[in-house]
Amino acid sequence: MTAPTIPELSIVIPMKDEQDGLASLFFRLLPTLRSLGRSFEVVCVNDGSHDNTVTGLVGLQRAHPEIVIVDLSRNFGKEAALTAGIQHARGNAVIPLDADLQDPPEIIPEMTAKWDSGAEVVIAVRSKRETDSAFKRWTASAFYRTINQMSEVSIPNNAGDFRLMSRPVVNALLSLPERNRFNKGLFAWLGFRTEVVYYERPKRELGTSKWAYRRLWSFAVDGITAFSSLPIRIWTYVGLAFAAFALIYGGVMIFRALILDNIDVPGYASLMVAILFSSGVILTGLGVIGEYVSRIYIEVKGRPLYVVRTVIRAETSAQRR
What DSSP string describes 195-252? EEEEEEPPPP-SS--S--HHHHHHHHHHHHHHH--HHHHHHHHHHHHHHHHHHHHHHH
| Nearest 10 degrees: Cα torsion 88, 94, 98, 101 | -130
The edge-to-edge listing of strands for the beta sheet with 308-312 is 194-200, 121-128, 159-166, 93-96, 9-15, 40-46, 67-72, 308-312
Q: Is the pLDDT score of 320 beyond 50?
A: no
* 172 part of a folded domain: yes
Range of the structural domain that residue 234 is part of:
230-301
Q: Domain check: are 36 and 100 in the same one?
A: yes
* 3 part of a folded domain: no
DSSP state of 3: P
Mean pLDDT across the stretch 53-76? Answer: 87
Most confident of 176-190, 229-243, 258-272: 176-190
pLDDT band at 144 (very low <50, low <70, confident <90, very high): low
pLDDT band at 175 (very low <50, low <70, confident <90, very high): confident
Q: Domain check: are 250 and 263 in the same one?
A: yes
User: Which residues 6+ apart lie within 8 Å of 203 measured at CB?
Assistant: 102, 131
* 146 part of a folded domain: yes
Domain count, the chain: 2
Rounded-to-integer distance, Cα 129 and Cα 203, Å: 9
Mean pLDDT across the stretch 278-288? Answer: 72
Higher pLDDT among residues 251 and 205, named by residue: 251
pLDDT at residue 135 in the model: 58
Domain of 129, CATH number, reads 3.90.550.10
Closest CA to 206 of 85, 25, 45, 7: 25
Q: Is the pLDDT score of 178 beyond 50?
A: yes
Q: Assess contact for 91 and 8: CB atoms under 8 A.
A: yes
Q: Assess contact for 14 and 46: CB atoms under 8 A.
A: no
Rounded-to-integer distance, Cα 126 and Cα 119, Å: 19
pTM score: 0.70
pLDDT in tens, 293-303: 777 776 777 77
* 223 part of a folded domain: no
Q: Domain check: are 34 and 147 in the same one?
A: yes
Q: How far apart are the first and last CA of the chain?
A: 18
* 1 part of a folded domain: no
